Amino acid sequence: MTKGVKIILAAVILIFLGAVAASAAILLNKPDSARVEILQDNKLLCTLDVEKDAGTYNIPDENGGYNVVEIYGGEVYISEADCPDQTCVKMGKLDSGLPIVCLPHKLVVRFAEES
C-alpha cells in the first residue's frame, strides 16, 4: 500500500467516525421539551407535560384496540397494548429523539417540538 492510499484511507476512516459520533449525539440526545404529543392516525389527540401530567392514559383506536401510555417520574412509555407484535411496548421509555410508534393502532408518542 502506498503512502497516498494510506492517507486517503485514514481520512475516510476519520470522516466515518465523525459521522457516527454526530449521528449518535443527535439520536441519543433527549430533547429539551418537557411535553409529549400523542397522535393517532396523524391527528393530535393531546399534549401532556411530563412533569405535571403524571398518570395512566388509555388510548383506544377506531377498531376497538388500545394502548396504555404511562407518564411517571418524568418518563413516558407504553406499558400495555393489544396489538399482536407488542413492538410499542418493547420500545421502552421515550428518552431520545425517536418516537414510540404502534403501527397497528396508528399511534405515535413523541416529544413536542418547541415553538
**Residue in the structure block whose three cell numbers are 467516525:** 17
| Residue 57 pLDDT level (bands cut at 50, 70, 90) | very high
Of 13, 20, 5, 59, the residue nearest 36 (C-alpha):
59
Q: What is the CA radius of gyration of the chain?
A: 20
Domain limits for position 51 = 35-111
H or E, element range at 80: strand 75-81
| Residue 20 pLDDT level (bands cut at 50, 70, 90) | confident
Is the pLDDT at 90 greater than 70? The verdict is yes
- The CATH number assigned to the domain holding 64 equals 2.60.320.10
* Residue 41 shares a structural domain with residue 21: no
* Residue 7 shares a structural domain with residue 41: no
Q: Specify the DSSP class assigned to residue 104.
A: T
| Residue 34 pLDDT level (bands cut at 50, 70, 90) | confident
| Residue 33 pLDDT level (bands cut at 50, 70, 90) | low
Residues 37-58: what's their mean pLDDT?
92
What is the tally of structural domains in the chain? 2
* Residue 107 shares a structural domain with residue 83: yes
